[in-house]
Amino acid sequence: MYDFSPLIDSLSAWLNQTFSPFWAGFISMVLLGVALLAFYAVLGLYLVYAERKICARMQNRLGPNRVGPGGLFQTIADLIKLLMKELIYIRNADNLLFNIAPFIVIVASIMAIGSIPFAKGLQAIDLNIGVLYILAISSMGVIGVLIAGWASNSKYSVIGAMRSGAQVISYELSVGLALLCIIAYAGSMQLSEIIASQQDGWWIFKGHIPAWIAFVIYLIAGTAETNRGPFDLAEAESELTAGFHTEYSGIKFAFFFLAEYMNMFIIAAIATTLFLGGWLPFHIWHFDAFNRIMDYIPPVIWFFAKTAFVIYLMMWFKWTFPRLRIDQLLALEWKYLLPINLMNLIVIAFLILMQWHF
């Protein structure tokens, strides 16, 4: 019912008829880039506001409530403040790498968003290796973190960067193996194909208990990969001031701050796409009247509702559990999550071989 492909095709056809092939392609790329940047900025501000409100609710306080209705404009005021802040010059820093690092982090997250399908036809690019592309691009963010810590010439920043590098590289294994479980079920790494394979049921339901195990492991590992609590050893305020971005100020600090929330959105969006049916509505077998009502809800609303649910779970983790030590964090991955993930993948391969999944 809600297919954006005709709209996108008509816009592309109009550009090709009005302009030369070069300018048509150039204008389409500019429009796409502006749309992604606007979406990135607006969603990042909203996620900061949502985390403040959820944190306040869990701590039995109000949170932002002064600037705008319900404090809705507080994050906009904070952004303006950061834009007006002085960019402090670090005397002994490697200036080139110090200035490049925030852009590496934020560009990596923007490129990853481009392949996420928000609805049918509403996707910047649909690669046949979409899952592999997102894993590869999102992994580039840790390079910016390592460069930021090393180029700052600060012991706190270096320790934070090394912690972040060890943490991200370790937990990427569990993230990849958890996603590989669903790739094995769907038989494809193309995100649109994975969503299409869930027309008769989301994989978290029809994949049996192994799909639930993969989902839980993915949430834990994804939370750790974004350096969020209780896995925020890279930014431990009580130990490292602000970790790898201690020496950053103004808009450069805002880039790191915004990229953290957008990486959380990317993790949640991937979980929605692979485990929760993406933009597909919730259906119950043989309840045709209920299913038809669900079909009237636009797929974009379904996608963002599911993603918001996963983001809420990640925020719930952060404000519930205490911060782990670095040895506990690495032991959780190498001694528990990784072996469970490997055994779970073997079980899923056996279920697929015997055709025992729905």
In the prediction, which pLDDT does 163 show? 82
Strand partners, 119: 122
For residue 134, what are its two tokens? 């997102």
In the prediction, which pLDDT does 266 show? 92
Burial (0-12, 13-18, 19+ Cβ within 10 Å), 166: middle
The answer on pLDDT for 247 being more than 90 is no
The answer on pLDDT for 103 being more than 80 is yes
Taking the model in full, what pTM does it have?
A: 0.90
The answer on pLDDT for 116 being more than 70 is yes
Q: What is the mean pLDDT of residues 54-81?
A: 87
In the prediction, which pLDDT does 237 show? 64
pLDDT tens for each residue of 185-240: 988 899 989 998 888 888 898 888 999 999 999 999 999 888 887 887 766 666 66
pLDDT tier at 1 (50, 70, 90 boundaries)?
A: low
Average confidence score pLDDT of the chain: 86
pLDDT tens for each residue of 140-192: 888 888 888 888 888 888 888 888 888 888 898 999 999 999 999 988 899 98
The answer on pLDDT for 241 being more than 70 is no
CA distances from 179 to 26, 90, 212, 228 (A): 34, 41, 12, 20
Where are the strands (E) in the chain, listed by range? Answer: none
In the prediction, which pLDDT does 179 show? 93
Residue type, 299: P
Cα–Cα distance, 263 to 282 (Å, whole number): 26
The answer on pLDDT for 45 being more than 80 is yes
% of the chain exceeding 90 in pLDDT? 21
Q: What is the mean pLDDT of residues 113-132?
A: 87
247 and 183 Cβ atoms separated by less than 8 Å = no
In the prediction, which pLDDT does 239 show? 63
Q: What is the mean pLDDT of residues 301-319?
A: 91
Burial (0-12, 13-18, 19+ Cβ within 10 Å), 106: buried
In 3D space, the residue among 229, 247, 209, 248 whose CA is nearest the CA of residue 340 turns out to be 209
For residue 163, what are its two tokens? 């912690």
Cα–Cα distance, 212 to 224 (Å, whole number): 18
In the prediction, which pLDDT does 221 show? 92
Q: How many Cβ atoms are within 10 Å of 318's Cβ, its own excluded?
A: 19
Question: Quick check: helix, strand or coil at residue 117?
Answer: coil
In the prediction, which pLDDT does 212 show? 93
For residue 49, what are its two tokens? 């506001």
pLDDT tier at 90 (50, 70, 90 boundaries)?
A: confident
pLDDT tier at 358 (50, 70, 90 boundaries)?
A: low
Which DSSP symbol is given to 69?
G
Cα angle for residues 175, 111, 314 (degrees, 5° grid): 40
Annotate 167-235 with DSSP letters as a single string.
Answer: HHHHHHHHHHHHHHHHHHHHT---HHHHHHTTTTS-HHHHTHHHHHHHHHHHHHHHHHHTT-TTS-GGG
pLDDT tier at 242 (50, 70, 90 boundaries)?
A: low
Q: What is the mean pLDDT of residues 287-313?
A: 89
Query: With DSSP H G I counted as helix, E B as strand and the rest as coil, what are the percentages for the chain, rounded to 5?
Result: 70, 0, 25
At 125, which helix (H) or strand (E)? none
Which DSSP symbol is given to 325?
P
pLDDT tens for each residue of 210-221: 999 999 999 999
In the prediction, which pLDDT does 178 show? 93
Question: Quick check: helix, strand or coil at residue 122?
Answer: strand
% of the chain exceeding 70 in pLDDT? 97
Cα–Cα distance, 281 to 70 (Å, whole number): 31
